[in-house]
């Protein structure tokens, strides 16, 4: 009996976070770790963005003005790697940490200590990778896809650090994913059945399975590179009986599921925001779940559409063309459902909703240019041009990134208990929306006209499109500093937010007070029908 | 309290299963390499032609109704300084008719070296219909300093070659495999003795 009382007292003392900076190092609280992930990814976003601006500065005019080609290559490579592995992915993991336990009615993540470890690996991984830029011979310069033999035979000496950094990122992602799956499968409040789970939880469950399936493949690819470079093997070296094309197959077997890893959680976020501001239930919840699952399945059988030009037999090209086009069907289902959710809703256009609508429109455009690229005979013209750059930036920037920004505006009241300034939020949206389109829309045209990607200099005919693109990039880049200002202003002096946050918001997280208490749902909540999406 | 323990047990079980998936995927990557080679060998997808082909000369019945052009290309890989060329740039053959062509190599350096040629064939659709009964690419060549060699290659284009294929290109890339294979013991000594001047030759030349 006395033991029970003692335990009760102990709990009572442990309500708030620990004091001091070490709190962040030792924390196992899902909200703290979510915050760490989000700030880390924002820092990486600024560093990767700075690199993008170096690229756009050099491309402002034809000719070499600011940087040398060697450094330019390091910029394109590191921009890609940092944005993919350092900004987008950790931001989604941060959102998962904050939201999943609250949305399924769990007190914390299933494995809190591993959670701490999987975050704290990341600063070291990116510290190692960015430090290579200051080494003799420079950092990775072979493109974010690091095709062999560019990344083996012809790589700078620092490539070994890059390989180690990728191993660390992979370990972090695998641990994070195991944690998320274990939480979703075991920690749901009674009554929260799988088909009642919020869409963000569903999309992350499937994303986490994708991650644990393909991250070992990426680790294998870089390990083979390591062996080729240091231990005399010839996995990718034709001189020793290897095959550089095999590298591309292995890389894209990882790489294609990876692009869905970066978009599926975005689908989840949008499926929360649109119903909230249309004040209607999500249209077609069940079909949304099945659409995400089929996109995830298809992502494993389309990888070679990234390499149509390596010389594939006709049957292979046809298979990968048709399987790629098949993805348009579940994606179309999702877009249809979002629009149907808005149909005859009482819509208001607060900042998160603006970003969500822009997501639907611009992501769909990126999807359509993806369909164009999937047409094998046409791909021979588009391959490795700025058309490809325009395509994947349309799905990643107004796609994945806009969804993250929308999520921050949408859940900020719940996280901080403060409301951001709506006028400033809208200004941020319009600056971003104009900036992103001015940057990337002209790249479709320069790509169709034949401008190759990853070049520091270009033919005169592309000068106007590139100048436009660079102007857009600076508008977009600086408007993200403005985003930082809006968020900090909200945290410091925002108006207090209500518990519900938004009139139309539904879900267990909105039943908690704002800001959400440090320990929430220590006793499983009752899952009421009106808080459930399905 | 018991439900808490039960939950911890379930979590452990989930983690164990997921760990197995991760391990399984690691194993899958390791298996990918031999699987990829096997897949390419069966389908000829990466343009690699097969090993020695056995065929009975007496029963050969050439398809005289058509001629196929076979082009020969020779390359040396980065760092390989042998001279390497084909006797004829191309030949025209009837499918089913055996043909012998020659390739020449010369080792211009002052040390013994071992070379290995790797074939690659386009179009890929023809890979399975191109047979070699005799080829220098089935073995390595050891050339003494300044030595020249004529290397025969005997091939036959299969009678079943699809009719839309009218031209086949066979490319050989010659690799320096001296270090990988290792010279016979008696030659290795002379090789190391003469190593230094060669390196400086290359440096001066390159």
Q: How far apart are CA A267 and CA A335, in angstroms?
A: 9
- B115 to chain A, minimum CA–CA distance in Å? 10
pLDDT average, residue stretch A243-253: 93
Contact B32 A220 (CB under 8 A): yes
Does residue A483 contact residue A46 with C-beta atoms inside 8 Å?
Answer: no
Query: A186 and B14: CB-CB below 8 Å?
Result: yes
pLDDT given for residue B136 in this prediction: 85
Contact call for residues A194 and A289 (beta carbons, < 8 A): no
> Would the pLDDT of A12 be above 50?
no
Residue A108: active-site member? yes
A432 tagged catalytic: no
Of A35, A207, A271, A324, the active-site residue reads A271
CA distance A353 to A341: 13
CA-based nearest residue to A416, from A88, A45, A34: A34
Burial A314-333 (b: 16+ CB within 10 A, else e): eebbebbbebbebbeebbeb
- CB contact A175 to B (< 8 Å): no
From chain A, the residues in CB contact with B118 under 8 A are 238, 241
Instruction: Provide the pLDDT for residue B203.
Output: 38
Instruction: List strand residue ranges (DSSP E) for B77-180, in order.
Output: 83-86, 90-93, 99-106, 113-122, 130-134, 141-143, 148-157, 167-176
More confident residue, A175 or A310: A175
Residue A467 has pLDDT above 70, yes or no: yes
What is the overall mean pLDDT for chain B?
82
Q: Do B22 and A181 touch (CB under 8 A)?
A: no
pLDDT at position A14 is 53
Q: Do A238 and B118 touch (CB under 8 A)?
A: yes
A474, pLDDT greater than 70: yes
* Percent helix / strand / coil, chain A, rounded to 5: 70, 0, 25
Checking if the pLDDT of B205 tops 50, the result is no
- The pLDDT of residue B159: 86
Residues of A in contact with B22 (CB under 8 A): 174, 178, 212, 215-216
Question: Band of the pLDDT at B198, cuts 50, 70, 90?
Answer: very low
Residue with tokens 């990814």: A41
Q: Which of A182, A226, A300 to mutate to test the interface with B (most CBs of B within 10 A)?
A: A182
Instruction: Look up residue A216 and give its two tokens.
Output: 């070992």
CB within 8 Å: B46 and A240? no
* Least confident segment among A33-37, A357-361, A418-422, B189-193: B189-193
pLDDT cut 90: percent of chain A above it: 90
Answer whether residue A352 shows pLDDT above 70.
yes
Mark whether A167 is an active-site residue. no
Percent of chain B with pLDDT over 70: 82
Assigned token pair, A186: 């075991």
The three-class DSSP label of residue B75 is strand
Asked which of A7-16, A155-164, B161-170 is least confident by mean pLDDT, the reply is: A7-16
Q: Is A171 on the interface with B (CB under 8 A)?
A: no
Instruction: Assess B28–A contact: CB distance below 8 Å, yes or no.
Output: yes
Q: Is B75 on the interface with A (CB under 8 A)?
A: no
pLDDT at B190: 54
Mean pLDDT of A78-97: 97
A with B: how many residue pairs have Cβ under 8 Å apart? 83
Indicate if A256 belongs to the active site.
yes
pLDDT in tens, B161-185: 888 889 999 988 888 888 877 787 7
Answer yes or no: do B11 and A111 touch at CB < 8 A: yes
Higher pLDDT, B28 or B198: B28
Query: Is the C-alpha dihedral spanning B172, B177, B181, B182 positive or negative?
Result: positive
The answer to whether A145 is a known catalytic residue is: no
Most confident segment among A64-78, A225-239, B82-96, B188-202: A64-78
| Interface residue B43 vs chain A (CB under 8 A) | yes
Enumerate the residues of chain B whose CB falls inside 8 A of the CB of residue A111: 11, 15
pLDDT of residue A53: 97
Given a cut of 90, whether residue A192 has pLDDT beyond it is yes
- Report yes or no: B1 at the A interface, CB cutoff 8 Å: no
Mean pLDDT within A205-219: 97
Would the CB atoms of B124 and A311 count as touching at under 8 Å? Answer: yes
Whether B77 has its CB under 8 Å from any CB of chain A: the answer is yes
The answer, yes or no, to whether residue A118 has pLDDT greater than 90, is yes
Quick check: A420 pLDDT over 90? yes
Give the pLDDT of residue B206. Answer: 31
* Interchain contact A111–B (C-beta under 8 A): yes
- Which of A200-214, A322-336, B47-61, B149-163 is the least confident region? B47-61
Is residue B134 very low, low, confident or very high in pLDDT (cuts 50, 70, 90)?
confident
Interface touch A212/B21, C-beta < 8 Å: yes
Task: Catalytic residue, from A256, A272, A428, A444: name it.
Answer: A256
B124 touches chain A (CB under 8 A): yes
Q: How far apart are CA A286 and CA A309, in angstroms?
A: 38
Q: In which band, very low, low, confident or very high, does the pLDDT at B47 lie, cut at 50, 70 and 90?
A: low
How do beta strands B68-76 and B83-86 pair? unpaired
In the predicted model, is pLDDT for residue B193 greater than 50?
A: no
- Note the pLDDT of residue A72: 97
Residue A342: the pLDDT is 97
CB spacing of B25 vs A187 below 8 angstroms? no
- pLDDT for the residue numbered A159: 96
Q: Residues 6 or more apart from A321 whose CB is under 8 A from it?
A: A305, A374, A375, A376
């Amino acid at each position: 009996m006395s033991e029970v009382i003692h335990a009760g007292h102990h709990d009572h003392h442990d309500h708030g976070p620990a004091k001091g900076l070490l709190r962040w190092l030792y924390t196992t609280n899902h909200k703290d770790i979510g915050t760490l992930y989000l700030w880390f990814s924002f820092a990486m976003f600024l560093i990767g963005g700075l690199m993008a601006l170096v690229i756009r500065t050099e491309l402002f005019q034809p000719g070499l003005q600011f940087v040398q080609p060697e450094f330019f290559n390091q910029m394109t490579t590191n921009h890609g790697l940092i944005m993919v592995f350092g900004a987008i992915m950790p931001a989604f993991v941060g959102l998962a940490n904050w939201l999943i336990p609250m949305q399924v009615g769990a007190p914390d993540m299933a494995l809190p200590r591993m959670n701490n470890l999987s975050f704290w690996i990341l600063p070291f991984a990116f510290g190692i990778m960015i430090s290579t830029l200051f080494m003799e011979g420079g950092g990775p310069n072979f493109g974010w896809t690091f095709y062999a033999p560019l990344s083996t035979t012809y790589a700078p000496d620092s490539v070994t650090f890059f390989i180690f950094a990728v191993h660390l990122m992979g370990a972090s992602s695998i641990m994070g994913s195991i944690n998320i799956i274990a939480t979703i499968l075991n920690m749901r409040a009674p009554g929260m059945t799988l088909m009642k789970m919020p869409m963000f939880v569903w999309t992350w469950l499937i994303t986490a399975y994708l991650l644990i399936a393909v991250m070992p493949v990426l680790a294998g690819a870089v390990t083979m590179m390591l062996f080729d470079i240091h231990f005399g093997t010839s996995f990718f070296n034709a001189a020793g009986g290897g095959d550089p094309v095999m590298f591309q197959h292995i890389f894209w077997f990882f790489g294609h599921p990876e692009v869905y890893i970066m978009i599926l959680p975005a689908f989840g976020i949008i499926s929360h925001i649109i119903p909230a501001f249309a004040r209607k239930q999500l249209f077609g919840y069940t079909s949304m779940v099945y659409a995400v699952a089929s996109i995830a399945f298809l992502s494993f059988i389309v990888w070679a559409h990234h390499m149509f030009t390596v010389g594939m037999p006709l049957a292979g090209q046809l298979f990968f063309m048709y399987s790629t086009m098949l993805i348009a069907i579940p994606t179309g289902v999702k877009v249809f459902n979002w629009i149907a959710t808005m149909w005859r809703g009482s819509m208001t256009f607060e900042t998160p909703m603006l970003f969500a609508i822009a997501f639907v429109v611009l992501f769909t455009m990126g999807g359509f240019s993806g369909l164009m690229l999937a047409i094998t005979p046409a791909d021979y013209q588009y391959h490795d041009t700025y058309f490809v750059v325009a395509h994947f930036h349309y799905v990643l920037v107004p796609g994945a990134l806009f969804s993250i920004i929308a999520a921050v505006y949408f859940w900020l009241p719940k996280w901080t208990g403060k409301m951001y300034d709506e006028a400033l939020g809208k200004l941020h949206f319009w600056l971003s929306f104009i900036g992103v389109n001015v940057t990337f829309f002209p790249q479709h045209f320069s790509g169709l006209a034949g401008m190759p990607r990853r070049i520091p200099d270009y033919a005169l005919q592309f000068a106007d499109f590139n100048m436009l693109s660079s102007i857009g990039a600076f508008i977009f880049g600086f408007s993200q500093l403005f985003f930082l200002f809006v968020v900090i202003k909200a945290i410091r002096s925002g108006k207090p937010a209500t518990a519900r946050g938004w009139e139309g918001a539904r879900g267990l997280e909105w039943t908690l007070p704002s800001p959400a208490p440090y320990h929430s749902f220590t006793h499983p909540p009752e899952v009421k029908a009106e808080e459930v999406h399905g | 309290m018991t439900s808490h323990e039960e939950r911890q047990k379930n979590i452990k079980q989930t983690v164990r299963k997921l760990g197995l998936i991760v391990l399984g995927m690691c194993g899958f990557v390791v298996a990918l390499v031999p699987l990829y080679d096997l897949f390419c060998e069966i389908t000829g997808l990466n343009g690699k032609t097969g090993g020695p082909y056995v065929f009975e000369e007496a029963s050969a019945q050439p398809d005289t109704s058509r001629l196929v052009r076979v082009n020969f290309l020779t390359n040396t890989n980065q760092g390989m300084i042998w001279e390497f060329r084909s006797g004829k740039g191309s030949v025209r053959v009837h499918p089913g008719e055996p043909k012998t062509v020659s390739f020449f190599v010369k080792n211009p350096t002052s040390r013994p070296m071992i070379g290995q040629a790797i074939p690659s064939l386009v179009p890929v659709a023809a890979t399975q219909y191109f047979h070699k009964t005799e080829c220098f690419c089935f073995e390595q060549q050891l050339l003494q300093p300044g030595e020249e060699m004529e290397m025969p290659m005997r091939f036959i284009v299969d009678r079943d070659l699809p009719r839309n294929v009218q031209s086949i290109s066979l490319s050989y890339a010659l690799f320096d495999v001296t270090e990988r294979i290792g010279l016979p013991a008696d030659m290795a000594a002379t090789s190391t003795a003469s190593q230094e001047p060669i390196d400086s030759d290359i440096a001066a030349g390159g």
